[in-house]
Amino acid sequence: DIVMTQSPDSLAVSLGERATINCKSSQSVLHSSNNKNYLAWYQQKPGQPPKVLIYWASTRESGVPDRFSGSGSGTDFTLTISSLQAEDVAIYYCHQYYSTLTWTFGQGTKVEIK
């Protein structure tokens, strides 16, 4: 299995400040055939299912505010919230969909307001 490890496990950021979450995969999720990174980011608020924010490592899902951005390639990825808003309080997960028969998720990063 590809193991996804996120850091930190939690972080507290002031409103309007930047939040950065890292995700490292145990092997590359960059597919050589199409040069795409099979990496997505999800946001989960209490009592709700995860919602996809970013896919192909850096493509924002329709309707997702542009303060959310994804970067990275191969095994190291980052989700950045450029200016934290109150409604961004949630748990964020990275997810690899490279490994056809075993998709895996990171353990989650809890984002709170400082």
Partner 1 sequence: QLQLQESGPGLVKPSETLSLTCTVSGGSISSSSYYWGWIRQSPGKGLEWIGTMYYSGYTYYNPSLKSRVTISVDTSKNQFSLKLSSVTAADTAVYYCVRRPRDGCFDYWGQGTLVTVSS
Residues found near partner 1 in the complex (CB under 8 A): 38, 40, 48-52, 55, 61, 93, 95, 97, 101-108
Reading the block at residue 92, the tokens are: 């964020």
Which residue, 15 or 65, has its beta carbon nearer to partner 1?
A: 65
Least separation in angstroms between residue 39's CB and partner 1 is 8
Least separation in angstroms between residue 47's CB and partner 1 is 9
Beta strand spans in the chain (E): 4-7, 10-13, 19-25, 30-31, 36-37, 39-44, 51-55, 59-60, 68-73, 76-81, 90-96, 104-105, 109-113
Least separation in angstroms between residue 63's CB and partner 1 is 12
The C-alpha atoms of residue 96 and residue 84 are separated, in whole angstroms, by: 25
Whole-angstrom CA distances from 75 to 31, 37, 39, 51 are: 12, 9, 10, 22
Least separation in angstroms between residue 70's CB and partner 1 is 12
